[in-house]
Amino acid sequence: MPSIRARDLIRDTHPVYASPETSIREAARLMAEHNVGSIPVVDREGRLVGIFTERDLTRLVARGESLEKPLKEAMTPNPVTAHPDDPLPLLAYKMMEHNIRHIPVVDEHGKLLGVVSIRRVLRHMLPREEWP
């Protein structure tokens, strides 16, 4: 069986993304509408500049901060990323080492190709016959 790479885990997905000027409220709406736990933040050229996650949203709500602020004030800038050729174990390692559940996959120019979630990683690491 050939090894699974990051590109294999994003092949059929179309990432939801936002600009740095998008409001936190709009990002939360997009996350809910598309049932995703993170929103990559990209510049006008499609290059990844940050990520906004459900953890970020929870922290902001708990502090009573305005949801009308732009993502550029709430996102994690320069997030950990994966290359399309990164093997599955490396994705799992990066997620574990950095305590993250979503890892954007970018090309050599930093353009967003997709996002791999911890759920997709686990689904491919655990043999199907071991699922309950």
Is 106 a residue whose pLDDT tops 90? yes
Question: Which helix (H) or strand (E) segment is 39 a member of?
Answer: strand 38-42
The strand pairing partners of 26, in sequence order, are: none
Is 61 strand, coil or helix?
helix
pLDDT average, residue stretch 29-56: 96
What domains lie within the chain, and their CATH numbers?
A: 6-126 (3.10.580.10)
pLDDT for 1 equals: 42
Residue 35 half-sphere exposure, CB side, CA atoms within 13 Å? 2
Is 15 a residue whose pLDDT tops 90? no
Beta-carbon contacts of 127 under 8 Å, excluding residues fewer than 6 positions away, are none
Is 99 a residue whose pLDDT tops 90? yes
pLDDT average, residue stretch 1-23: 85
Residue (of 6, 39, 4, 35) closest to 107 by Cα position: 6
Length of the chain as a residue count: 132
